[in-house]
Amino acid sequence: MKTLCIMAGSLLLLCTSACIKPELPVAAEDASVALVEYRPVEFTPMHADGVQERERNFNLTPIGDLERTPRDYVRATVTIRSTGAARVTIAFVDIIDRELRGRPVELLPNQETEVSVDIRQAGRPISMLRTVRLYVQGQPVEVLDLRIVCAVEKLPEPDAIVQGLKDHTSIQAALDSLGADGGVVYIPAGVYQIGAQVMVPCDNVTIYGEGQATVLKATWYDARALLMMKGKSNIRVTRLRFMGWPEKAFRGYTEKAHAATLQDVGRKDNVMTRAVDIDDCDNVRFDHCTVELFGHTGLLIRGEGLVVVDHCFFQKNFRYGFGYGVVPDATRKCYIEDNSFENHRHGVAGKANSRATYTCRFNRFVKDIRAVPTDGWSQVNSHEIDVHHGCGWLYSHDNYVEMKNARMSSAVALRGNSAWVWRHLIVNTNIGIRVMGASHDVWAWDNSFRNVDRPYSSTATGKVHFDRKPANFAEIPYPHAFNCAGWWPGADDRPLRIVRPDAQFHGPARAPGLEFVPTSAN
């Protein structure tokens, strides 16, 4: 008989002692994490001229090269050779342009040494990087090498391995083989044609794959999810790639009132598919997955249980009138953090009249008008963080929102709810934060804006406070306890030995940013 997975209260105690902690990320290899070294793909050795009277700075990686893929960064180390006396420092720069500097190092003439910055100095994780930056004061230096260490979570041995046909039947068979106590299912690399909805059959289940190489592919157009979990607890889904339909597939209106042509009315090939539904579940982590090219929604979360979504890459989930990355519906304990969203109608959208309450933080929301089909998708310039009327409370901070090669209508739209919105960086929008309808008890402060016509706008009927912090303000600890290593529902206390660096990190396949450095240890 298997021992049931640890519930939420006990899990917090486990995570704060054995994994990347909310108050201080771990920077040493332990039972649940391996430290793996990478080299930035675009790094080339360079000459950096310093001056005596002030620091000069140099970006060691191209801006934007690393920010699209969420990772668990630990340390960056640069090898420097001086030509004379110099003072050098390196820094992590996160997606909202905050720097975490390492300790400065004084170099003697003709000295070669390593200079590092460690995430422990920040007291919080950094999951997406704008760049790694070098500061030099004094004589010129030669930058010889740059290495970045990431934490890679160790995997449990599976109870069931998906075998046979590359379709839904083999995945469902592996899940059904677990029994009432649950367990761990591994889906090997391959493209799996999902012809019928895959159901999680019991509590205490982990499903993991080979990252981008394990693809679950949609085969229907209507508004159903490829993977469904309903009324379950202690579930983790990780290291999978969910793929909808090609972006050229029909994604227009089929309703008579809005259809572009009579031929579009009632079309059955209209992309409305969803990737995953989490319905009335509790203690769920959905992490390190790619969700792309669905129509209605990538991930639908319904119910009051605890759900954490982290370190995922959502892109091009779009359909006119719909097109969401994540939709919280009647949620109470929903945490969306450390994800990258690209080219949606809305990246995160609380469902109307559901009283959805959710936390949205440390995410990247970017749209690029040149990255979507030229014959449509005009609604891609709509707001990214969208809260429909009749939602509950939005707790949103430290998000990056940008529109490339065009302007977004607004970054954050509050249509009838309460909210705290702070420390965002918003770029290229007509309005930064827009408040409408019956919104009330809205507070927005310490937000930054670049090329934004109107930072704030309100036509709301309730009280709205711009550039003011509420008197009862208190931050919810970040990251959430589930957003850390070592929790594998159904795995009991079995040793964690499997290390697969390429399976953990998700982002655009054509721009990985980092390449794995094999060593004798890994």
Q: Looking at the domain assignment, is residue 353 inside a domain?
A: yes
Q: Looking at the domain assignment, is residue 15 inside a domain?
A: no
Q: Are residues 204 and 329 in the same domain?
A: yes
Residue 211: what pLDDT? 94
Provide CB contacts within 8 A for 266, sequence distance 6+.
Answer: 254
Q: Are residues 184 and 205 in the same domain?
A: yes
Considering only residues 434 and 25, tell me which one the structure prediction assigns the higher pLDDT.
434
Single residue among 466, 490, 514 that ends a domain in this structure: 466
Q: Are residues 43 and 116 in the same domain?
A: yes
Whether residue 420 is predicted with pLDDT greater than 90 in this model: the reply is yes
pLDDT tens for 108-148 read 999 999 999 998 887 788 999 999 999 999 999 999 999 99
Report how far residue 86's alpha carbon sits from residue 100's, in angstroms, rounded to the nearest whole number: 20
Q: Are residues 158 and 128 in the same domain?
A: no
Q: Are residues 167 and 250 in the same domain?
A: yes
Report how far residue 9's alpha carbon sits from residue 22's, in angstroms, rounded to the nearest whole number: 15
Residue 490: what pLDDT? 97
Q: Looking at the domain assignment, is residue 27 inside a domain?
A: no
pLDDT tens for 92-102 read 999 999 999 99
Q: Are residues 143 and 183 in the same domain?
A: no
- What is the average pLDDT across 260-283? 94
Q: Looking at the domain assignment, is residue 195 inside a domain?
A: yes
Strand 496-498 vs strand 448-458: parallel, antiparallel, or unpaired?
unpaired
Q: In sequence order, which ranges of 320-410 are alpha helices (DSSP H)?
A: none
> Residue 65: which CATH number?
2.60.120.430
> Residue 338: which CATH number?
2.160.20.10
Single residue among 119, 152, 185 that ends a domain in this structure: 152
- What is the average pLDDT across 331-359? 97
- pTM, two decimals, is 0.92
Angle (CA) 156 159 165, round 5°? 115
The CA-based diameter of the chain, rounded to the nearest angstrom, is 76
Whether residue 5 is predicted with pLDDT greater than 60 in this model: the reply is no
Q: Are residues 40 and 174 in the same domain?
A: no
Q: How many angstroms from the chain centroid is the CA of residue 405?
A: 23
Percent of the chain with pLDDT over 90: 79
Question: Is the four-CA dihedral 119, 124, 128, 133 of positive or negative sign?
Answer: negative
Report how far residue 440's alpha carbon sits from residue 44's, in angstroms, rounded to the nearest whole number: 52
Residue 408: what pLDDT? 95
Sort residue 377 into left (φ over 0), alpha (ψ -120 to 50) or beta: left
Q: Looking at the domain assignment, is residue 486 inside a domain?
A: no
Q: Are residues 406 and 337 in the same domain?
A: yes
Q: How many domains does the chain have?
A: 2
Single residue among 152, 181, 214 that ends a domain in this structure: 152
Report how far residue 179's alpha carbon sits from residue 384's, in angstroms, rounded to the nearest whole number: 41
Report how far residue 7's alpha carbon sits from residue 25's, in angstroms, rounded to the nearest whole number: 22
Q: Are residues 398 and 440 in the same domain?
A: yes
The per-type count for the chain, helices as H runs and strands as E runs, is: 3, 43
Whether residue 361 is predicted with pLDDT greater than 50 in this model: the reply is yes
Strand 333-337 vs strand 306-310: parallel, antiparallel, or unpaired?
parallel
Q: Looking at the domain assignment, is residue 487 inside a domain?
A: no
Q: Are residues 372 and 343 in the same domain?
A: yes
Q: Are residues 144 and 278 in the same domain?
A: no
Residue 440: what pLDDT? 96
Residue 26: what pLDDT? 42
Q: Are residues 148 and 158 in the same domain?
A: no
The mean pLDDT of the chain is 90
How would residue 1 be classed by pLDDT, with cut points 50, 70 and 90?
A: very low
- What is the average pLDDT across 197-226? 97
- Short-list 60, 59, 48, CA closest to 141: 48
Angle (CA) 313 316 318, round 5°? 130
- What is the average pLDDT across 381-392? 94
Provide CB contacts within 8 A for 159, sequence distance 6+.
Answer: 177, 178, 183, 184, 185, 490
Q: Looking at the domain assignment, is residue 274 inside a domain?
A: yes
Residue 8: what pLDDT? 30
416 is in which domain, residue-wise? 154-466
Q: Looking at the domain assignment, is residue 204 inside a domain?
A: yes
